[in-house]
């Protein structure tokens, strides 16, 4: 009788451990997705806090916003994205060039766009010095 109880107890313990591992493996991809969504949302919240009212309205409507370069006063358009997402426009409003410059770290889109905005608005020449032209 004692042996039977011990066997049942061991069986239940093994089942419990196995079930927990199975459930963990099953949920892992969903937890990762949730984490990614949270990180993306946090980045976008920060971006929205730093955009001017005009930029925010433009971003909400079009998924991009314009900034004015600190040195040349040229207009740049920052599209939602993490790379190759900055376009320069000429005085006639035509697309003039594309610029790719990103933070030297793995960041979410909101953070990347905010860093690009701040650098263009405060140190345009510095940004273009490191940027790669793609158009």
Applying CB under 8 A, which part among 5-13, 14-22, 24-32, 37-45 lies near another protein? 37-45
Which of 4, 9, 39 is closest to 111 using CA atoms? 39
CB of 76 to another protein, least distance (A): 14
CB of 104 to another protein, least distance (A): 5
Residues recorded for the chain: 135
Which of helix, strand or coil describes residue 74? Answer: coil
Under rule CB under 8 A, residue 69 binds another protein: no
Under rule CB under 8 A, residue 125 binds another protein: no
Under rule CB under 8 A, residue 14 binds another protein: no
CA distance 22 to 30: 14
Q: What are phi and psi of 44, to 5 degrees?
A: -70, -35
Under rule CB under 8 A, residue 111 binds another protein: yes
């Amino acid at each position: 009788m004692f042996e039977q109880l011990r066997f049942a107890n061991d069986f239940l313990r093994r089942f419990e451990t196995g079930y927990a591992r199975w459930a963990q493996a099953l949920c892992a991809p969903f937890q990762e997705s949730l984490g990614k969504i949270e990180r993306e949302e946090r980045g976008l919240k920060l971006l929205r806090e730093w955009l001017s009212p005009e930029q925010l309205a433009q971003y909400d409507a079009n998924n991009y916003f314009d900034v004015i370069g600190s040195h040349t006063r040229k207009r740049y358009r920052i599209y939602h994205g993490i790379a190759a997402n900055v376009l320069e426009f000429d005085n006639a409003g035509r697309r003039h060039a594309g610029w790719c410059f990103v933070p030297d770290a793995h960041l979410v889109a909101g953070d990347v766009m905010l860093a690009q905005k701040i650098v263009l608005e405060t140190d345009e020449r510095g940004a273009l010095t490191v940027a790669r032209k793609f158009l």
